[in-house]
Amino acid sequence: MEEASVSIRLNPFKGLAGPEGSPVPWSPYGRILSDRPVFTLDPLWHAGCYYVQDSSAMFVGHLFRKYIGARSGQTVRVLDLCAAPGGKTTDLAASLREAFGDGFVLVANEVMKARVGVLDDNVARWGDPNVIVTGADPAAFARLAGWFDVIVADVPCSGEGMFRKDPRAREEWSPEVVELCAARQRRILADVWPALREGGWLLYSTCTYEQAENDDNLAWASAELGGEILEPEAEFEAYGVRRTPHGHLLEAGVVPGEGQWAGALRKTAPQRTSAKADPAALHPLRGGGVRKGEMKGKDFIPDPDYALSIFFDSKDYPTVDVDRQTALRYLHRDALVLPQAAPGYHVITYLGHPLGFVKNIGPRCNNLLPKGRRILMNV
C-alpha cells in the first residue's frame, strides 16, 4: 500500500516560514513535503508558523473561501463545529482574516473533552485572537438562533478515507458502524441547524467514502431542514478530485492526501424562533481578543498566548533571539541563562518568531512555557 503523503499549511500572518514543498492545488498556503521531518523538533512549528494538515483536508478550506462572500460593515460569524485538533480552524481563521481583516468571529468547538486541550493549544500557536474555543454539545448552539453566517461541520464518520494511514480505522469499520455514523451525523446537523441564519452556508465534510454518510446526508439536510445544495465544481478534476451527486470526493491513492468528502448547502428555511441569541451561554474556554496578561498582587503576569499572537508587540516586552538548540531547550522547558538580558520578563524568539516568555532573575531564567506544551522527547 502506498504511503501517506505529508503536507503542511503556512501561516500567512507569521511570515510564511516553514519547510519547502510542492503546492497543494486547492490551498494557496498548502505544501506537500518530499519526506516527513520531526515536526516536534522544529521551533517554527511551535511558533505557529505552519500547521501540519493533510492536503485533502485542506479542500474544505477551499470551499469555505469560495462561498464566504462579503458582508460589508458586519462582523462575519463562523462556527467550526467539530474542530479538534484544529486544522480546519486555523485554515478558516487565515481565510477570514485575509477576507475581512478584524471583522470576524470564529468559534472553534469540540465536544470531546479529551480533545479540547489539543485544539486550544493549536489555536494559541496559530495566534489569531478572533478565534474562541468552546467545548459545547452541538445542541447547545440551538439557543444562538440565526447567529452564524457559516457553519463548518467536519463530522465524526466511519473513517474509510483513513484506512491507508490508520490501521485501527480498518479494524473498527463495519456496515453497522456506517449506519450508526450516518444517524449520528443527521442528529448533529439537526441540533445545530437553528444556529445558522437564513441564507447562511453549511459546509459538510467527512473522511469516508460512504454515500450514506456523504451525499445522502446532505440530501437529507436539504429536504428535512431546508436548504439548497450547491452543485459540485469540476475545477480540480485534473488533480483527482471527483464530483459526486452533491459534493466532492478526494480518494487516497488518487490524490496525494487521504480520503475526504465535502459539500455545501445554503439554508433556505426561515428562522423558527425569535429567541434572542446569547453567545455567553456557551462558556468559552479561551476568550477572543488580545489578552496580554493579568494582575496578581502587585505584579502583572504576561499571558503565555500573547507571545504567540499575530498582534504581539515587541515594544511590550524585550525579545531574545536564540539558536535552534537553545530554542529546543526552551521548548523542553529547561531553565535558560541569558547573561546579557536585564532582569524581568522577556520573550524567547527563534529566527524572529516568538516562542514564549521567560522571567530573568539573574543567574537563570524561570521558563514560563505552559507545561502542557513542552517537548517530551530528548532534545
For the chain, the first-to-last Cα distance in angstroms comes to: 33
User: Residue 172 in contact with residue 162, Cβ under 8 Å?
Assistant: no
Catalytic residue flag (residue 207): yes
131-134 and 248-250 strand pairing: unpaired
- Nearest-angstrom CA–CA distance, 238 and 253: 14
Query: What burial letters (b/e) apply to 55-66, b meaning 16+ CB within 10 Å?
Result: bbbbbbbbbbbe
Contact, 11 vs 50, CB < 8 A? yes
Candidate list 82, 157, 207, 365, residue with the active-site label: 207
Of 89, 87, 18, residue with least CA distance to 49: 18
- Under 8 Å between Cβ of 184 and 219: no
Residue type at 13 in one-letter notation:
F
Q: How far is CA 270 from CA 43, 81, 149, 200, 240, in A?
A: 49, 21, 14, 11, 37
In this structure, are residues 163 and 252 in contact, taking their beta carbons and an 8 Å threshold? yes
Interatomic CA distance for residues 257 and 277, integer angstroms: 39
Residues involved in catalysis: 207
